[in-house]
C-alpha cells in the first residue's frame, strides 16, 4: 500500500498568528472606526484591527455610509474607550489624530506608538454633498496610508 505524499500548495499564504493593531482617536467615531473596518477587510487574513478613543461617543452615520460605498459594513461597530483594552497586547498602536497622540495611552508598554494623522471629517462644514465628499476623501486617505504602512 502506497503512502500518500503530503501536497503543499505554495499559492496559499499561511500566517501563524495574526498581528494585532489598535487605532486610537479622540471620540472613536470616524477615523479610527474607518481604519478598523478597512484593515479588517483588506488585511484580515493576517491582521486583527481594533479601535478606541480617549472617550467613547458613537459611530458617525456618515462614516458608516462612506464605508458602505466601498463594500465595508461598520454598522455593527460601537465606540469604545481605550481603557477597554488595558492589559491587552498589540503589535501596533497607531494614533490617528493629534489629540489622541498627545494623550497617548501609557498602558501599552513595550509597543512603539506610531502617529499617522488625518483630518477630522466630523469638522467639515458645508452642504451635505461637501461634507460627504470630505468623509470620502478622509476614508480614501486612511485606506491608502494605512494599507501601505501595514502591508
For residue range 64-80, what is the model confidence (pLDDT) as tens digits? 999 999 999 999 999 99
Enclosing domain of residue 35: 19-150
Catalytic residue (choose from 22, 24, 25, 82): 25
65 within domain boundaries: yes
Crossing angle between the packed helical segments 61-69 and 31-43, to the nearest 10 degrees:
30
The pLDDT tens digits of the residues spanning 12-48 come to 555 568 999 999 998 999 999 999 999 999 999 999 9
- Among 41, 95, 94, residue whose Cα is nearest residue 67: 41
Q: Give the CATH number for residue 124.
A: 3.40.50.2300
Q: What is the DSSP string of 30-44?
A: SHHHHHHHHHHHHHT
Report the C-alpha gap between 100 and 135 in whole angstroms: 20
30 is catalytic: no
Q: Is residue 9 part of a domain?
A: no
Q: Is residue 10 part of a domain?
A: no
In-domain check, residue 12: no
Q: Please compute, for residue 44, the number of CA atoms within 13 A of its CA located in the half-sphere on the CB side.
A: 9
* pLDDT tens track for 80-96: 998 898 888 899 999 99
Find the catalytic residue in 21, 22, 97, 146.
97
Q: How many domains does the chain have?
A: 1
What is the model's pTM?
Answer: 0.85
Amino acid at each position: 500500500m502506497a503512502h500518500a505524499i503530503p501536497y503543499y500548495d505554495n499559492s496559499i499564504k499561511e500566517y501563524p498568528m495574526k498581528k494585532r493593531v489598535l487605532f486610537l482617536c479622540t471620540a472613536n467615531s470616524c477615523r479610527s472606526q474607518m481604519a478598523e473596518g478597512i484593515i479588517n477587510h483588506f488585511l484580515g487574513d493576517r491582521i486583527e484591527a481594533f479601535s478606541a478613543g480617549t472617550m467613547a461617543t458613537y459611530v458617525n452615520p456618515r462614516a458608516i455610509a462612506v464605508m458602505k460605498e466601498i463594500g465595508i459594513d461598520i454598522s455593527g461597530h460601537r465606540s469604545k474607550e481605550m481603557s477597554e483594552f488595558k492589559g491587552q497586547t498589540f503589535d501596533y498602536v497607531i494614533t490617528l489624530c493629534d489629540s489622541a497622540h498627545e494623550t497617548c495611552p501609557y498602558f501599552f508598554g513595550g509597543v512603539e506608538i506610531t502617529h499617522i494623522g488625518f483630518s477630522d471629517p466630523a469638522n467639515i462644514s458645508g452642504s451635505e454633498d461637501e461634507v460627504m465628499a470630505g468623509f470620502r476623501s478622509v476614508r480614501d486617505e486612511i485606506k491608502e496610508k494605512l494599507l501601505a504602512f501595514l502591508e
